[in-house]
Amino acid sequence: MELQYVYQKKRAEFGRQCIFSDKGPDLIDNYAANKELGQNYILQDPVSQGSQCGPILAEHELNTTRANFVNCGINHIEGGWPKDVNKDDEEQTKRYRRKIEKDDAYNPIIMQLCKSMENCVLQNNSINIYQQYFSDIEATPLVEKSSARTVNVYQDQCHTKRPINRISWSPDGGTKLAVTHCDLTFQKPTNIDGCHSYLWEVENPNRPLLIFTPRATPMVCLEYHTKDVNTLVSGHLSGRIAVWDARKGCEPVQRSVTDISHREPVNCVLWINAKSGLEFFSTSTDGQVKWWDARKLSEPLETLELMSPSETTQRPMSACSLEYEPTIPTRFMVGTEKGVIISCNRKGKSPSEKMATRYMAHLGPVLAIQRNAAYVKNFLTIGDWTARIWSEDCKESSIIWTCYHRDQLIDGGWSPTRVSVFFTARSDGTLDVWDILQQQKQACLGIKVSDESLSCLRVHDQGRLVAVGNVKGTTNLVQLSENLSTSSKVDRTLLTAMFERENKREKILEARNREIRLKMKTKSTQVIGVESVCHLDNLQPFAVNIAKDPGVRTTEDEFFNTIAKGEDKESIKE
């Protein structure tokens, strides 16, 4: 280790000339002796005297037998074979081993050697009280209270405040934020001056880094490329698709033609894990899913119509959300306005094969779908005032769901770093943080982000930041505490056990429901057969039994009383 010391002094003293002069000695101080003080002391000759304060005791030492250890190296070479046995020949060595094991002296020799070997094993198993045996185990972390705070606010620069529809983080660690503003109110006139959207730097909320200016219609959705920080793709209110390059300014570099684009607003666009890295797909309320190549927007690569097999009109179902997992490149999920989630496979030959699985998820539009980053078979859906967690193994019902909220849930998403945490945005301006390993009946944390209704949210890749947009065009950047963004070693084990338990429970319930439906179907078939043969009076006891039910009688009385009150009000109005 290099040691040094720096001597410092003023520059005025540095290099000053030393001036010497002749000078005699000076007496600084002098104390004269006082002989009168010597009378107070008695002179004594030097005397040596020894003393022992404690008793003399004998000293004894006692110690256990010391074990002497020697460190030495051993070269392990297989030996002990007779000269006529080649140790490299497997057949000869096996034959010789069987011969030795059949010998009568083999067992006594082994038993004798086992005693010394057992003594060595017990010595190795002895515990050293000063040794740290559990150095690889981390100390139990302190229980941190869940908290969140708003760190930045990004305001809409337009005079007319417009809702935020989509937020996208840049792939370079989330240093930039792309935000789209569009009012999707039905038949509301579009203000041409208010069609622009913004690209923000996370550290600079005062002024946007870039302002995107579409020519005629505003952007509904905007998505960053998964690897290129300068490439973005957007879907517009007119149904057209555009590709943007942040290095080339505020104008799009390519736009799709109106004839081959969507007929209604594009609700979602997502990049695909393809060989070229420039393919993406989009969906709209016109019920179509289109695949595109960013290098050629003159026509889509493929188009899929979301047809409903139950309807005779054969009208496609309006799509309002998309989900794509890069680890499953050929599969994607679409959420419709009828509450149906369609699990699609692009490699299917026919439309029925491409849309093989359907989930009756919600009573209203499916506003958001997202798979869990660690459990791709489980996905989260948002709609009709609830958030539901589904499993691909259970198609009839979700495995976990929240209660029905008083305020509508607008958007949601999983945390990419803590596998058991997901977020929901409500119409009263509250951001809820759910941790299903802690509690399932209510959110573990609720943050009042704004007084207006929230419109969308997007979680940062590191899980610590959440960007939340509202209907007044304000984007709030919320920072979460570390315990809500960091997974422990046991989280995945506990969540796996929870999902497996809920899957098993739902499968049992599905089997029971199928059994009940089969019995009811069989019973209804028998009743129809009896009606075709017998008179209707023979079935009178069934009606009598139902009428005797007090719950049915109370419900009928309330129903008729309500109708009577309504008729009285109409007669008064007349």
Which CATH number fits the domain that encloses residue 336? 2.130.10.10
pTM of the model: 0.64
pLDDT in tens, the chain (574 residues): 567 777 777 777 777 777 888 887 888 888 888 888 888 887 776 666 666 677 777 777 777 777 787 877 666 666 678 878 887 788 888 888 888 888 888 888 888 888 888 888 777 776 666 666 666 655 555 566 888 889 999 988 888 888 999 999 998 888 899 999 888 877 666 666 668 888 999 988 888 898 888 877 888 999 999 888 889 999 988 888 999 888 888 888 888 888 888 988 898 999 998 888 889 999 998 888 999 888 888 888 888 888 876 655 567 888 889 999 888 888 889 999 888 899 888 888 888 888 888 888 888 899 999 999 888 899 999 988 899 999 888 888 888 888 888 888 999 999 999 989 999 999 999 999 999 988 888 888 899 998 889 999 999 988 889 999 999 889 999 999 888 888 888 888 899 999 999 888 888 888 888 888 888 888 877 666 555 544 434 433 333 343 445 556 677 777 777 767 765 544 434 4
- The 3-state DSSP composition of the chain as helix, strand, coil percent (nearest 5) reads 20, 25, 50
Domain check: are 192 and 291 in the same one?
Answer: yes
Structure tokens at 160: 């007319």
User: What's the rounded Cα separation, in Å, for the pair 411 and 395?
Assistant: 22
338 found inside a domain? yes
CB 165, CB 180: distance < 8 Å: yes
Judgement on whether residues 385 and 261 belong to the same structural domain of the protein: yes
The answer as to whether 236 is a domain residue is yes
What tokens does 39 get?
């009378």
Asked whether residue 323 falls in the same domain as residue 203, the answer is yes
Please name the helix (run of DSSP H) or strand (run of DSSP E) that holds residue 516, with its range, or none. Answer: helix 491-533
Q: What pLDDT was estimated at residue 513?
A: 86
- Going by C-beta distance under 8 Å and a sequence separation of 6 or more, which residues neighbour residue 391? 377, 378, 399, 499, 502, 503, 506
Query: CB-side exposure of 183: number of CA atoms within 13 Å?
Result: 16
DSSP bridge pairs for 552:
none
Say yes or no: 298 and 423 in one domain.
yes
Q: Is 551 exposed, middle or buried (0-12, 13-18, 19+ CB in 10 A)?
A: exposed
The 3-state DSSP class for residue 358 equals strand
Residues 481 and 520 in one domain: no
φ, ψ (nearest 5 deg) of residue 522: -65, -40
**556 within domain boundaries:** yes
> Same structural domain for residues 352 and 405?
yes
Asked whether residue 502 falls in the same domain as residue 361, the answer is no
Last residue of a domain, which of 461, 486, 511?
486
Q: With CA atoms as reference, report the closest residue to 299 among 258, 360, 249, 244.
A: 258
Both 418 and 541 in a single domain?
no
Q: What is the distance between the alpha carbons of residues 467 and 150, in angstroms, rounded to a whole number?
A: 10
Amino acid at 349: K
Count structural domains, the chain: 2
Q: Within its chain, how far is the Cα of 250 from the centroid?
A: 33
Q: Which helix (H) or strand (E) holds 401?
A: strand 400-401
Quick check: helix, strand or coil at residue 416? coil
With respect to residue 210, please indicate whether it lies within any of the assigned structural domains: yes
Q: Which amino acid is at 325?
A: E
Residues 291 and 408 placed together within one structural domain of the fold: yes
Domain boundary among 458, 486, 514: 486
In a domain, 387, yes or no: yes
Q: What pLDDT was estimated at residue 95? A: 87
Interatomic CA distance for residues 401 and 404, integer angstroms: 9
Task: Please indicate, yes or no, if residue 415 is contained in any of the structural domains.
Answer: yes
Q: Which residues span the domain enclosing 270?
A: 148-486
Q: Could you tell me if residue 391 is inside a domain?
A: yes
Beta strand 421-426 pairing with 409-414: antiparallel
Closest CA to 342 of 282, 412, 411, 289: 289
Angle at 151 between CA 150 and CA 156, to 5 degrees: 85
Domain boundary among 486, 518, 551: 486
In a domain, 14, yes or no: no
145: phi then psi, degrees, rounded to nearest 5: -75, 135
User: C-alpha angle with apex 206: 158 to 457, nearest 5 degrees?
Assistant: 70
In this predicted structure, what is the pLDDT of residue 306? 85
Give the three-state DSSP class for 390: strand
